[in-house]
């Protein structure tokens, strides 16, 4: 097995960063997944031990102490130590179940990759690694450990169990009141989500599937980003085919829709802009049936990219359509039917203040080089203590 970046750093006497350690572990996991062979229990335990060490390092740095008295994660527990209570949801590749630990009485969520979907242990470990890298952050779902079913050999993530998703809360609010969240509530939610994104991005992790259904709401109203099944570490060397259009179409950034190799953490910022817009209106900002139509809807609001800006995408699947869209928009402009960026028309000042719009506009910049990073967004006046 190749020596990964984190191991090289250790060999050279340098302390590897959390980002490099995560990239190293993910590379090992991906290397095994590529063999299409089951991962042995001893191999899973060895990789999990490395993941637990990452969580301990994060907790140590976060608490600013030199030594941890307690491990962040216990050893791999057995699935029958938990009493399954009810299903919390079935995704495209995984099932999530609410459960109670028999000995402690603690309520947890168990996430299990379905055996017919992929190499379960490998994908469970990848997700655990991303969660360990941000262990203890208040806006990111917390991992408690791993559990194994001794009868089937299937592994599950053991996670904190929160309330409903933000999607459910918004739908319930719309059904009861007919109104989405007011700006003050959206500001509180976005501050937390941007803080979580900042932590992920600091460790060179792209979530790639931030959406209302993957944001969970606690009893006290706090929100946390969950589901790291599509996440990607960009601290190491990634192949071009790692940069596929992950996640959910209506939250994908333009460069992700175009499957541009080398897209970065800024795709998450676009997703957060879409989340913010949905919280303010109660509806998805862009919702099309295919990627081509999704791009058309985006460009209809923000304008079709000019020739210079479009150059990196000249070989994309919509390369023949963009000149047509550009001509159509030019004709609309001459007729006075289109006057440039229409985002403010969709979010007038009675819906979103000037300071709030500065955040939304920055998150929803089509050109990623002009898009706000999480840390920069949090410094804007909208988030100043009121």
Binding annotation? 111
Q: In the annotation, is 209 catalytic?
A: yes
Contact call for residues 147 and 125 (beta carbons, < 8 A): no
CA 256/CA 263 separation, integer angstroms: 7
Residue ranges of the binding site for ATP:
111
State whether residue 93 is helix, strand or coil.
coil
Contact call for residues 108 and 144 (beta carbons, < 8 A): yes
Strand partners, 101: 82
- Helix runs in 182-335, H state only: 183-202, 254-257, 266-281, 291-302, 307-310, 322-334
CA 39/CA 44 separation, integer angstroms: 6
Strand partners, 153: none
Which DSSP symbol is given to 106? Answer: -
CA 208/CA 226 separation, integer angstroms: 11
CA 233/CA 76 separation, integer angstroms: 24
Residue tagged active-site, from 5, 209, 227, 291: 209
Instruction: Give me the active site residues, please.
Output: 209
């Amino acid at each position: 097995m190749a020596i990964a970046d984190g191991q090289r750093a250790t060999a050279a006497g340098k302390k590897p960063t959390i980002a490099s350690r995560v990239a190293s572990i993910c590379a090992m996991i991906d290397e095994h997944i590529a063999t299409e062979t089951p991962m042995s229990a001893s191999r899973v335990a060895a990789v999990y031990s490395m993941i637990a060490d990452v969580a301990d390092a994060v907790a140590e740095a976060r608490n600013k102490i030199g030594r941890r008295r307690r491990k962040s994660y216990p050893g791999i527990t057995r699935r029958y130590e938990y009493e399954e209570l009810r299903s919390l949801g079935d995704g495209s590749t995984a099932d999530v179940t609410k459960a109670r630990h028999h000995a402690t009485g603690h309520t947890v969520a168990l996430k299990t990759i379905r055996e017919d979907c992929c190499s379960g242990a490998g994908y469970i470990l990848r997700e655990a690694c991303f969660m360990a890298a941000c262990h203890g952050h208040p806006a990111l779902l917390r991992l408690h450990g791993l559990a194994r079913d001794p009868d089937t050999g299937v592994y599950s993530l053991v996670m904190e169990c929160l309330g409903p998703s933000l999607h459910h809360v918004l739908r319930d609010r719309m059904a009861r009141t007919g109104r989405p969240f007011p700006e003050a509530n959206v500001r509180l939610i976005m501050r937390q989500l941007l803080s979580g994104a900042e932590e992920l991005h600091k460790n060179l992790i792209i979530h790639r599937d931030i959406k209302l259904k993957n944001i969970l709401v606690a009893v006290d109203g706090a929100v946390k980003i969950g589901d790291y099944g599509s996440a990607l570490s960009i601290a190491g060397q990634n192949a071009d085919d790692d940069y596929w259009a992950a996640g959910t179409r209506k939250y994908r950034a333009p460069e992700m829709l175009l499957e541009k190799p080398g897209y970065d953490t800024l795709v998450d910022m676009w997703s957060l802009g879409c989340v913010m817009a949905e919280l303010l209106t109660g509806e998805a900002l862009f919702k099309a049936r295919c990627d081509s139509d999704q791009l058309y809807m985006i460009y209809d609001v923000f304008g079709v990219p000019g020739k210079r800006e479009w150059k990196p995408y000249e070989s994309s699947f919509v390369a023949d359509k963009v000149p047509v869209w550009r001509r159509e928009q030019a004709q609309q402009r001459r007729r006075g039917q289109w006057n440039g960026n229409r985002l403010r028309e969709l979010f007038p000042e009675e819906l979103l203040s000037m300071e709030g719009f500065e955040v939304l506009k920055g998150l929803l910049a089509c050109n990623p080089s002009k898009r706000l990073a999480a840390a920069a967004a949090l410094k804007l006046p909208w988030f100043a203590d009121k």
